[in-house]
Each structure stands twice: as structure tokens, then as C-alpha cells.
């Protein structure tokens, strides 16, 4: 576990618009199936192997401090002027939840405990702000991210089958919403 780097609040004047490279590969995906009957809906997510390795080339790069996340807060690790890890959070006031809008770690620094440290900051923030949950999105084909979030206590809370395109199910890249419940009495 890397503990030699300090996590700081990222100054919006410096980091607004900073591009994050979310490219990744995956051998597996969760196959999302939605069945409708006259009695309701049934949704299943079944882990399956891609016929060839899936490559997400990050065609829609994310940026820090995007205008639609007004008043977001970014916490990161900067090493010699280079951003090596970040978590950005945004208070969803109407539902009293904290949304993790970005969680990114440079691939050289993955699997060293930095993701856990960053997620702990979001959990602490949610507790201090008396939020009822933390929510985030990932993709049905990003099994490493899903496994990490599950290890952090998150659970599946929903999906959006046409978020990225009108063929998300066919492309095996469905938006998955995950949540971490802070206070079940709220």
C-alpha cells in the first residue's frame, strides 16, 4: 500500500477541465437482460466472458470540475505536478446523497490501496454532511471497477440501458448505478 503521497483538495482554478483517461480492457461483462410481462419487469445481470477482449478506448473523456457538477469537490494525489489519483464528489441535495462523479487512479498506482483511501474520504464526507447514501456509476463491462465497489460495501441499485447509446445492451456496456447506504433510517 502506498502511503507516501498526501491527498489534497484539488484547487478548481488549477484542475478544472483536467482530462481523465478512463480507458480499460475487460475479459468479462455483466449481460443485462430486461424482461417485461403484464405483471412487471425482471432484470438480470449475468457474468459472461467476452468472445474477444473488450477495449474501452475512452471516446468520451471525463474532465474534472465539469459545470454540471456545480460545487463539486476533488481530492487527489499530485506527484511532481502530475495527477496520479482523484476522487470527485458532488452533493445531490434533493435526495441527500453524495455522488462520486469521478474516481480515477493512474494505472501505475492501481492495486496499492489508493482507491480505498480515496473512497474513505468520500465516506467520511458523507458522514460529516449527514448524507443518507453515496452513489456512483460504472459500466456493466468494467468488472474491475464493479469488484472494487463491491469490496467497498457498495451494492447494485439500478441501471440505465440507453445512457451511452441506443444500443448499450447489445454493446455490453450498460450504465450500472451502485450505492453505499449510510443511514437506513433517513
Give 30-39 pLDDT, tens digit per residue.
Answer: 999 999 999 9
Query: pLDDT tens digits for 8-53?
Result: 999 999 999 999 988 888 999 999 999 999 999 999 999 999 999 9
In this structure, is residue 18 part of a structural domain? yes
Block residue for cell numbers 473523456: 61
Residue 2 domain-assigned?
no
Reading the block at residue 48, the C-alpha cell is 459472461
Q: What is the pLDDT of residue 56?
A: 82
70 within a domain of the structure (yes/no):
yes
d(CA 178, CA 186): 18
At 56-103, the pLDDT tens digits run 876 556 899 999 999 999 999 998 889 999 999 999 999 999 999 999
The pLDDT score that the predictor gives to residue 59 is 54
Q: What is the CATH number of the domain that holds 126?
A: 3.40.630.30
DSSP collapsed to 3 states, 129-184: CCCCEEEEEEECCCHHHHHHHHHCCCEEEEEECCCCCCCHHHHCCCEEEEEEECCC
Retrieve residue 159's grid coordinates. Answer: 441501471
Over the chain, what is the mean pLDDT? 92
Range of the domain at 170: 7-181
Number of domains in the chain: 1
Q: What is the pLDDT of residue 78?
A: 93
In a domain, 75, yes or no: yes
Give 185 or 116, the one with higher predicted confidence.
116
Q: Residue 1: inside a domain, yes or no? A: no
The more confidently predicted of residues 184 and 148 is: 148
pTM flag (> 0.85): yes
Q: Is residue 186 part of a domain?
A: no
Amino acid at each position: 500500500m502506498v502511503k507516501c503521497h498526501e491527498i489534497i483538495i484539488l484547487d478548481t482554478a488549477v484542475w478544472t477541465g483536467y482530462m481523465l483517461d478512463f480507458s480499460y480492457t475487460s475479459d468479462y461483462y455483466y449481460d443485462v437482460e430486461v424482461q417485461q410481462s403484464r405483471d412487471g419487469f425482471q432484470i438480470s445481470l449475468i457474468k459472461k466472458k467476452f468472445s474477444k477482449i473488450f477495449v474501452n478506448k475512452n471516446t468520451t473523456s471525463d474532465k474534472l470540475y465539469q459545470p454540471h457538477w456545480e460545487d463539486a469537490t476533488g481530492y487527489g494525489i499530485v506527484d511532481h505536478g502530475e495527477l496520479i489519483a482523484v476522487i470527485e464528489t458532488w452533493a445531490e441535495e434533493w435526495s441527500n446523497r453524495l455522488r462520486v462523479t469521478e474516481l480515477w487512479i493512474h494505472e501505475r498506482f492501481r492495486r496499492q490501496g489508493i482507491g480505498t483511501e480515496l473512497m474513505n474520504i468520500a465516506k467520511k464526507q458523507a458522514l460529516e454532511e449527514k448524507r443518507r447514501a453515496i452513489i456512483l456509476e460504472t459500466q456493466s463491462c468494467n468488472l474491475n471497477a464493479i469488484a472494487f465497489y463491491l469490496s467497498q460495501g457498495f451494492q447494485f441499485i439500478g441501471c440505465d440501458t440507453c445512457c451511452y447509446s441506443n444500443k448499450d445492451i447489445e454493446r455490453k456496456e450498460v450504465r450500472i448505478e451502485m450505492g453505499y447506504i449510510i443511514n437506513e433510517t433517513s
